[in-house]
Structure 1
Amino acid sequence: MRIVCIDGERQYADIVKRDVIEPLRAAGHQLDWFEERFEDVDATIARAQGYDAVYIIADQGPLPERFLSSVPSLKLVSFVGTGAHRFVNVAEAESLGITVTNVPDFASRSVAEHAIALMFSVARRVPEGDRIVRAGEWAKHQGLKLRGRTLGVVGTGAIGREVIQMGAALGMDVVFWNRTERPEAEAELPGRRVALDELFRVSDVVSLHVTHTPETEGLVSAELLGSLKPSAILVNTARDEILDRTALFALLREDRIFGAALDVFETEPPEISELPLDHPNLVLTPHIGFHTDEADEVFAIAGRNIIAFADGTPRNVVHSITQ
């Protein structure tokens, strides 16, 4: 098979060469790597002509709308990550006979640890304290001790379960909610399942871990956010679309919650002018939840998905939400 990566990022080039390009070559396939952007739709479509598959890193955003229908040779889209629906129109791909694959679980522990790190960063006002010292000042602002407080985890997938386990290990009282009840899996978790509105009312820290689908878009509404305690912390390492960011920013600007931490944004990088940067206890990170050496395995798995597809045994196939 001939595979193209159009949206290659220089920071990943060595990893992809070692863990993807070489194994593909050994299996008789060819991956061509280009560090280009998707803004020029016609150039992106032209680049893909004649290729059997596209290897998408998707740091820069979704595939252009006309892409799938404009590359008649395309048989496979190998997405480097979990949330393929955010970057690929899977329903359109299916209608065109194009298979979409992803990496269902590659960085659960890494993202969960980052969520916990963000929780501590806000609770103990770590970035704020760092800024104070760097400015040559000396001020001590009161933080929150987490042991004995309530952690609410929204979503009990692989990442959410890790966060639940770590929160309980810290001595926190854990409550959780998931759209689909999973009695067997949830029976093994510390803590208890509660309704979503109760979770927001009782939690001192709320950590979001649901995937973005049409059903979860805007799930964390202004009403839910408004029910948070004045001492509450909100952490989002999931997707921006599940959260009413306007309502959250209003709470921060009005000092109606203790603080928040965001690793995901509506556009990445975000529009700085839209963020409440004057809030001293807002912690922001550039979507780095999965960026650990261990999580880099995602690139190799996406490459192995290509080999499996070429061998006639496709795996990690993503289906449209309507199926």
Structure 2
Amino acid sequence: MKTVCIDGEPQYRDIVLRDVARPLGAAGHQFDWFEESFADVEAAIARAAGYDALYVIGDQGPVPSGLLRANPALKLVSFVGTGARRFVAMDEAAECGVTVTNVPDFASQSVAEHALALAFAVARRIPEGDNLVREGHWQKNQGLKLAGRRLGVVGAGAIGSRMIGLGNGIGMDVVYWSRTVDATRDERLGARRVELDELFATSDVVSLHVTHTAETDGLVSRSLLNSMGDKAILVNTARAEIVDQLALAELLERGAIFGAGIDVFIEEPPRSDSVPPAGSNVVLSAHVGFHTDEADDVFGLAGQNILAFAAGTPTNVIN
């Protein structure tokens, strides 16, 4: 089986060659690495010619529309991470009979910890304080103590479950919402399931941990955002598309909530005029919730998906 990575980046080269290229080679398969860009559509289509599988890292943007149609030999797209639907045209994959795989759970603890870090940073106004001290000021702005306050976790999958555990660990009153109802989940997680409107209206910190699908697009609506209290914090380490971005921007501009911690954006990197201004108690990070030593495993796991597909036992198929 011949696999190509078109959107390789120098920072990932050594780990991909070690954890992907070597195991594939040992099993009699070919893996070719290129540090190119999907932005040059014609070049990307030409580069994929003759390969059976496409290994997609995703940092260079989505797989170009038409690439799968133009390369009928392709039978597999192995995406490095959870958000394959954001980077692969699923309708085109279905039309072309291409299997799409992802890595559904590789850095859940890291993302949950980052969500909690953002909540703390907003609650204690840490970036704001850092800037003030560096500018020679000694202004002590009031923060919020999280222990004893309510944490509302939207989504109770691998990451959401860990976020619930972290919230319990620092003494927060944790509630959650999930699309599915499981009578045993409350006891297992140590939290109570509530409806989404109650969660937003009663939580001091709302942390989002659902995948972006057609069902969750715009899930966090204007009405839900407007129901949050003026001391509430919104944290998003999931996907920007699940939130009504215009409503959130207006909410932050009015100072209607205490603040927000945001790790994900519609356009990445975001335009400078599309992010909340400094001083609005919004803490931003560059989609790095997963980016710890734990995250290195994702490259090898995506490679294992290729091995499984080649063996006729596909794993982590999302289509």
Pick the TM interval, shorter chain: over 0.9
Which residue of 1 is the match for residue 169 of structure 2?
169
Percentage of identical aligned residues = 64
Which residue of 2 is the match for residue 208 of structure 1?
208
- Give me the whole-angstrom Cα distance separating, in 2, the residues matched to 1:41 and 1:140: 52
Which residue of 1 is the match for residue 272 of structure 2?
272
Which residue of 2 is the match for residue 113 of structure 1?
113
Which residue of 2 is the match for residue 150 of structure 1?
150
Which residue of 2 is the match for residue 67 of structure 1?
67
Is the Cα contact below 8 Å between 1:60 and 1:268 reproduced in 2? no
Which residue of 1 is the match for residue 291 of structure 2?
291
- Give me the whole-angstrom Cα distance separating, in 1, the residues matched to 2:173 and 2:312: 48
- Give me the whole-angstrom Cα distance separating, in 2, the residues matched to 1:114 and 1:278: 20
Task: State TM-score, norm by structure 1.
Answer: 0.96
Q: Deviations over 1:108-146 (max 9, x none)?
A: 111001001111010011111111112222111100000
Give 1:21 shift: 1.1
Which residue of 2 is the match for residue 240 of structure 1?
240
Give 1:279 shift: 3.3
Establish whether residue 219 from structure 1 lines up as the match of residue 189 from structure 2.
Answer: no
Give 1:65 shift: 1.2
- Give me the whole-angstrom Cα distance separating, in 2, the residues matched to 1:312 and 1:216: 32
Between 91-100 and 12-21, the greater mean CA deviation after superposition: 91-100
Q: Deviations over 1:179-236 (max 9, x none)?
A: 1223333331112111101100100000000110011100001111001000000000
1:26-65 equivalences under 5 Å are 26-65=26-65
Amino acid of the residue matched to residue 240 of structure 1? A
- Give me the whole-angstrom Cα distance separating, in 2, the residues matched to 1:99 and 1:276: 39
Task: State TM-score, norm by structure 2.
Answer: 0.97
Is the Cα contact below 8 Å between 1:253 and 1:279 reproduced in 2? no
- Give me the whole-angstrom Cα distance separating, in 2, the residues matched to 1:219 and 1:71: 36
Amino acid of the residue matched to residue 193 of structure 2? R
Q: Which runs of 4+ in 1 moved over 4 A?
A: none
Give 1:90 shift: 2.5
1:181-196 equivalences under 5 Å are 181-196=181-196
Which residue of 1 is the match for residue 198 of structure 2?
198
Establish whether residue 311 from structure 1 lines up as the match of residue 304 from structure 2.
Answer: no
Amino acid of the residue matched to residue 187 of structure 1? E
Which residue of 2 is the match for residue 141 of structure 1?
141
- Give me the whole-angstrom Cα distance separating, in 1, the residues matched to 2:93 and 2:280: 45
SS in 1 for 2:148: coil
Give 1:245 shift: 1.4
Which residue of 1 is the match for residue 261 of structure 2?
261
SS in 1 for 2:55: strand
Is the Cα contact below 8 Å between 2:255 and 2:280 reproduced in 1? no
Unaligned runs of 5+ in 2: none
Give 1:75 shift: 1.1
Establish whether residue 4 from structure 1 lines up as the match of residue 1 from structure 2.
Answer: no
Establish whether residue 100 from structure 1 lines up as the match of residue 86 from structure 2.
Answer: no
SS in 2 for 1:301: helix
Which residue of 1 is the match for residue 87 of structure 2?
87
- Give me the whole-angstrom Cα distance separating, in 1, the residues matched to 2:177 and 2:17: 41
SS in 1 for 2:189: coil
Q: Deviations over 1:139-198 (max 9, x none)?
A: 111000000000000001110000001101110001110112233333311121111011
SS in 1 for 2:31: strand
Give 1:292 shift: 0.8
Which residue of 2 is the match for residue 122 of structure 1?
122
Once superposed, what is the RMSD of the aligned Cα atoms?
1.1
Count of residue pairs brought into register by the alignment: 319
- Give me the whole-angstrom Cα distance separating, in 2, the residues matched to 1:246 and 1:11: 35
- Give me the whole-angstrom Cα distance separating, in 1, the residues matched to 2:207 and 2:283: 14
Give 1:24 shift: 1.2
Amino acid of the residue matched to residue 37 of structure 2? R
Unaligned runs of 5+ in 1: none
Q: Deviations over 1:12-67 (max 9, x none)?
A: 11111111111111111121111111112111101100111000011222211111
Is the Cα contact below 8 Å between 2:106 and 2:297 reproduced in 1? yes
SS in 1 for 2:184: helix
- Give me the whole-angstrom Cα distance separating, in 1, the residues matched to 2:227 and 2:279: 20
- Give me the whole-angstrom Cα distance separating, in 1, the residues matched to 2:138 and 2:13: 43
Is the Cα contact below 8 Å between 1:264 and 1:286 reproduced in 2? yes
Which residue of 1 is the match for residue 16 of structure 2?
16
Amino acid of the residue matched to residue 107 of structure 1? A
Amino acid of the residue matched to residue 283 of structure 2? V
Between 174-183 and 139-148, the greater mean CA deviation after superposition: 174-183
